[in-house]
Structure 1
């Protein structure tokens, strides 16, 4: 199955945040993702499952890398630990830094506009915690 045949995954919103996330996946620093369960529900999408593959898109909407989920859990935010926070590959030293960044993002304008309201983010907010492995980086053609 080629990159074009896979469901796509877009990190955050196009721009510097997405570009840093894609680069962190390609470098091997990022091996985990966190999504707000409410966004999956709003999209009418099922929570992904281990074994699923995705084509991760860059800010220009081009496939950058194919990943395969190796573990997917729906958990309250309070259950995320330091190990998972570091696996996000964003330089978080611990779960407190991960939590602050995710609360800010989930309450931010982009998510609020998408959902039509600002979500409640607290210890019991359900997140989709995904661990993945890189299957294949897309040939960037000198990019």
Structure 2
């Protein structure tokens, strides 16, 4: 399997999730076409944190071992409070079959990674799959 970092050396890189199992699950959803959105806490992008997504930018999603697996292109970015995320966006994340399931899973994720509140600001990104390492 080729490493997309060799093909797209200028692209930003990131890893989905906070564990190998979650990373593997989310990458599989991206590669299947089911996951076309993701979100993160705004606090993780502030003070020299992660690079803020920008419409048109292409990023490489890495596996847990740092290999480039999927090249995605950002198609929209919105700031929303956690409590304002709607079912359309939640289902586009591909991880759950309902808004309630999304809320439960994302609340647990944010609680593990810096804290959660109903009014916390999220960076909500929609993307499209452009290339994949297994192609």
Moved >3 Å (runs of 4+): 42-46
1:6-58 CA distances to partner (integer Å, 9 max, x unpaired)? 11021012411000101110010100001011111154445211111101001
Distance 1:7 1:70 in 2: 15
Q: 1:97 maps to which residue?
A: 101
Q: Please give the TM-score of this superposition, normalised by the length of structure 1.
A: 0.83
The reply to whether residue 72 of structure 1 matches residue 77 of structure 2 is yes
The equivalent position to 1:62 in structure 2, one of 51, 59, 67, is: 67
- Alignment: residue pair count: 130
Unaligned runs of 5+ in 1: 113-118
Root mean square deviation, CA, Å: 1.7
Distance 1:42 1:94 in 2: 33
Distance 2:18 2:117 in 1: 22
Distance 2:52 2:80 in 1: 12
Q: Contact conserved, 1:82 with 1:93, CA < 8 A, in 2? A: no
